[in-house]
Amino acid sequence: MSNLISDILIYLLLLAGIGFGGISLMGLLIFPDIHSRMYTALRAGLISIGALICAAVVYAITLLPGNRGDVYLTFLIHVIFLAAMVAVGVMVINRQVLDKTRALVYRGCVPEDK
């Protein structure tokens, strides 16, 4: 069983992850153009994923010294691998979206507010 401080930290990180995930979703639904949608979804989504990964790391580190430490060590390695894969995927997708939308802006296809 984990201690009270780590439980509170895990719950706060999970709550922050859910909150920023909601902000990311609302940014995708509310903003009118692709650049503001991409910016909000990327930033809030990364904060959300970061908070959820930190919660998993705190959980694994808290329970690592117990009698089933090998299970939590494996879990910790999987979480670190997942974080690396998410970071690479976000960088690749962000670059692709940026390259595709940059051509639209330079051709004047994006409507202006005036």
Give the pLDDT confidence of 84-111 residue by residue, as tens digits.
998 888 888 878 877 777 765 555 555 5
**Per-residue tokens: 77:** 């390695």
Tens of pLDDT, residue by residue over 23-52, are 988 888 888 877 778 788 888 888 999 999
Instruction: Compute the distance between CA of residue 2 and CA of residue 8 in angstroms, rounded to an integer.
Output: 10
Helical packing angle, 34-63 and 69-107, nearest 10°: 170
Instruction: Compute the distance between CA of residue 53 and CA of residue 75 in angstroms, rounded to an integer.
Output: 11
**Per-residue tokens: 80:** 């670190």
